[in-house]
Amino acid sequence: MGDNVIYPAEAIEAHRAFIARRRALRPNGHDLPTSDNLIARIAEAECEGWLGEVEGLRVSLSGAEEKIAQLDARQERRSSKVFLGVPSCDQIGARTAVSPDHESTPGA
């Protein structure tokens, strides 16, 4: 399939460290602000009359909800089975049938 390449140990360790740093930077549910916290902060800002703060927190809440939905969708895709398109016997038979616009010659 491909060439076998021998990389120096330093390059392999640097790549492993890069992967570990990248995985550590991935957001998880604990890193995102919770909706309850943002809703409470919006309510407080409304009571205090901080209109600019209310608007900013609503934008943050919308972004947090969107990000949580994206993470949930990604997790659902990862946990669901993937159909690879392997045809069933019925589908194979349907593919080998002669279409009406192609005439077959007898005895061929």
Residue 58 belongs to a domain: yes
Residue 62 belongs to a domain: yes
- Rounded mean pLDDT of 74-96? 75
Residue 34 belongs to a domain: yes
- The 8 Å CB, 24+ separation contacts for 62-68 are 64/32, 64/33, 64/34, 64/35, 64/38, 65/35, 67/27, 67/32, 68/29, 68/32, 68/35
Residue type, 25: L
The count of domains in the chain is 1
For residue 66, the enclosing domain spans: 29-78
pTM score: 0.47
Residue 84 belongs to a domain: no
Average pLDDT of the chain?
Answer: 80
Q: Are 38 and 57 in contact (CB under 8 A)?
A: yes
pLDDT tens profile 40-55: 999 999 999 999 999 9
